């Protein structure tokens, strides 16, 4: 991940520059490797870089990027996985200044204008300034994997518009802020925000009827993981021991071994000479046509898990790692560690949602350890539960239409929940998280499956479809992806899986900080957004210590559909203990 800050049409941009650099510095944790800024006319773009691709030359990926005559300026946060294919298929010759995967956005804009984001396959937020037209455009990836905000100030001209990767850059200069909508592009010329991402499943009102193709599900996820191994730095996988992260780890390990074999063959086994098992070797990987390209592989894929001592996730993760042969790193944290980090977690998350904070705290602690080891990119399993209805409350869906509508709603809101959590918890320490389940191709295939195949029944555990796609028990020639006990392990929400004592401790501490009287008298500035538990109240007060009231408009608080429970924890749902065993029946 990187960090961006920009302001279009500032009334006095030269005078504003020192302030802009200070505001950009607020997201330096996202991009600790280098900083850059460009002023063109009355517009300024600032960038804080985390180098993942194009790392050898300090200038090869430094941003903001410009075209040959510097009439176009670009600042990007993200990764463009199909950049090689784009370079090959441009209609007009373009002089590339760098090897950065993000530079392709400039010639795409020159050829396609506002349609440029349609051609990108990746996770991204970008701000592009066209000097000749005095026009700024901004766009965000289809699902909102990268965090992005837009703001305005009533004290400045209506044309003045701000953009940033995080809320903390904007709240001191903007009195109106929104979470930039995923899959959209904004144009200062028209002042309009247009949705460019228009998949067939987006509406949600039409129930899909595509027959289940288990082979296609497997192939699309494998391809998605493969393209996300694009890197020139040591990478790893977040491994909770649950189905989603374990599948990603399994596929990544297969690809890593395949790439290592190819590199050894290409380099005459020179890579075997390495004395340090943690150093990257043999810059290889797969490009868009499955040819060898740039990826740094480690002799062993690193995997990481976290939990309280004896947590379900750590125990399961160790089993998976041993089965896969990854180099696994187990981190345990104490309840006091987590409680001490809460205020910092909320500062980075920029949210007071209960589920998000519960799950983000261990992820935040783990990310610090991972970055300290020199790993800069990890794969993670976010998105699967939304696509396949994996949360246990989906058991209460009345019919397949309601089931499908809820999956669409959850995917659309990922940028306010799990994507926000994964992005900001890791970026807090300059670590990048990539999410294979939210690949455009994978989404198109899986969101169009007849939802009757996804529904939880007495015969089918949650995410039966995904589990079955990777069940090789009937394929004697295929090595199993996971142990059967993991492939059919019941869903645990991340905040539960790290150890049930974590949530209990949060509730107990909230009781100490929030009185019954405080619950009866919420702050007037909260309006109708009133916390319904002491834990939620506690988090909201910590949020208010960091952010002014108008920032709350960017936050979504979540509770399960078809359920009256106020606690979003998975174990608060009756089916957690009553409906399923850890293995399919």
- Catalytic positions are 2
d(CA 534, CA 573): 20
Beta carbons within 8 Å of 190's beta carbon, 6+ residues apart: none
Q: CA-to-CA distance for 472 and 461, rounded, in angstroms?
A: 17
Specify the 3-state DSSP secondary structure of 327: strand
SS3 424: helix
Read off the DSSP letter of residue 153.
-
Q: Token digits for 36? A: 């850059």
User: What tokens appear for 237 in the block?
Assistant: 């996988």
DSSP string, 236-294: EEE--SSHHHHHHHHHHHHHHHHHHHHHHHHTTTGGGG-S-TTS-BS---B-TTS-B--
CA angle 287, 289, 292 (to 5 degrees): 45
The separation between CA 252 and the C-alpha centre of its own chain, rounded to angstroms, equals: 17
Task: Tell me how far CA of residue 114 lies from CA of 109, 190, 530, 545, in angstroms.
Answer: 7, 11, 40, 39
Cα angle 446, 449, 451; round to 5: 115
β-strand partners of 124:
78
Cα dihedral sign for 249, 250, 252, 257? positive
Angle formed at CA 76 by CA 75 and CA 79, multiple of 5 degrees: 155
Of 127, 54, 128, 66, residue with least CA distance to 97: 66
Alpha carbons 552 and 556: distance in angstroms, whole number:
8
Contacts of 207 (CB under 8 A, 6+ apart): 400, 401, 404, 450, 451
238 annotated as ligand-binding: yes
Q: Pseudo-torsion of CA 409, 412, 413, 414, nearest 10°?
A: 120
Q: Could you check whether the bond before residue 334 is cis, i.e. omega within 30 degrees of 0? A: no
384 is in an annotated binding site: no
d(CA 308, CA 467) in angstroms, rounded, equals 27
Tell me the backbone φ, ψ of residue 236, rounded to 5 degrees: -155, -170
The answer to the question of whether 516 is labelled as a binding residue is no
Beta bridge partners of residue 237, listed in sequence order:
303, 379
Task: Cite the annotated binding site for L-glutamine by residue number.
Answer: 101
User: Residue positions in the annotated binding site?
Assistant: 101, 238, 306, 380-381
Q: Which positions make up the binding site for ATP? A: 238, 306, 380-381
């Amino acid at each position: 991940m990187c960090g961006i800050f920009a302001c279009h049409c500032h009334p006095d941009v030269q005078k504003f520059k020192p302030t802009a650099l200070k505001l950009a510095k607020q997201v330096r944790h996202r991009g600790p490797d280098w900083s850059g800024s460009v002023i063109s006319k009355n517009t300024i773009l600032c960038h804080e870089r985390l180098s993942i691709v194009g790392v050898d030359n300090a200038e090869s990926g430094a941003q903001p990027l410009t075209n040959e005559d510097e009439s176009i300026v670009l600042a990007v946060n993200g990764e463009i996985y199909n950049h090689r294919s784009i370079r090959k298929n441009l209609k007009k010759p373009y002089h590339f200044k760098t090897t950065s995967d993000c530079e392709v956005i400039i010639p795409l804009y020159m050829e396609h204008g506002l349609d440029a984001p349609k051609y990108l396959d990746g996770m991204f937020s970008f701000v592009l300034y066209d000097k000749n037209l005095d026009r700024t455009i901004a766009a965000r990836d289809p699902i909102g994997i990268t965090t992005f905000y837009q703001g305005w100030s009533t004290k400045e001209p209506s044309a003045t518009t701000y953009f940033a990767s995080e809320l903390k850059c904007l709240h001191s200069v903007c009195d109106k802020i929104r979470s930039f909508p995923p899959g959209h592009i904004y144009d200062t010329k028209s002042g309009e925000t247009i949705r460019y991402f228009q998949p067939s499943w987006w509406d949600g009102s039409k129930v899909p009827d595509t027959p289940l193709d288990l082979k296609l599900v497997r192939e699309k996820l494998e391809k998605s993981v493969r393209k996300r191994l694009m890197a020139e730095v040591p990478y790893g996988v977040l491994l909770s021991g649950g189905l989603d992260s374990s599948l990603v780890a399994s596929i990544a390990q297969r690809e890593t071994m395949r790439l290592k074999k190819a590199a050894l063959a290409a380099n005459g086994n020179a890579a075997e000479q390495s004395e340090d098992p943690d150093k990257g070797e043999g810059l290889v990987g797969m490009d868009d046509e499955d040819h060898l390209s740039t990826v740094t592989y480690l002799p062993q894929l690193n995997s990481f898990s976290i939990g309280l001592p004896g947590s379900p996730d750590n125990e399961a993760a160790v089993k998976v790692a041993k089965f896969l042969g990854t180099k696994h790193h187990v981190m345990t944290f104490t309840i006091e560690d987590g409680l001490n980090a809460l205020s910092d977690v909320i500062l980075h998350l920029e949210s007071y949602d209960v589920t998000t904070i519960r799950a983000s705290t261990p992820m935040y602690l783990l990310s610090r350890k991972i970055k300290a080891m020199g790993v800069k990119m990890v794969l993670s399993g976010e998105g699967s539960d939304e696509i396949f209805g994996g949360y246990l409350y989906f058991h209460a869906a009345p019919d397949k239409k309601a089931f499908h509508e809820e999956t669409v709603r959850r995917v659309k809101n990922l940028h306010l929940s799990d994507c926000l959590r994964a992005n900001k918890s890791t970026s807090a320490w300059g670590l990048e998280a990539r999410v294979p389940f939210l690949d455009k191709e994978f989404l198109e295939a899986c969101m169009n499956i007849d939802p009757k195949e996804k529904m939880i029944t007495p015969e089918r555990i949650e995410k039966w479809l995904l589990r079955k796609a990777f069940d090789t028990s009937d394929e004697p020639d295929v090595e199993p992806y996971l142990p059967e006990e993991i492939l059919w392990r019941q869903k645990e929400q991340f905040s539960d899986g790290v150890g049930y004592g974590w949530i209990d401790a949060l509730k107990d501490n909230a009781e100490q900080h929030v009185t019954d009287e405080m619950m009866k008298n919420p702050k007037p500035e909260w309006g109708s957004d009133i916390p319904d538990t002491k834990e939620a109240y506690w988090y909201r007060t910590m949020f208010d210590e960091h952010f002014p009231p108008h920032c709350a408009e960017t936050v979504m608080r979540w509770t399960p559909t078809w359920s009256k429970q106020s606690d979003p924890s998975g174990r608060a749902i009756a089916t957690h203990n009553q409906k399923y065993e850890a293995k399919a029946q």
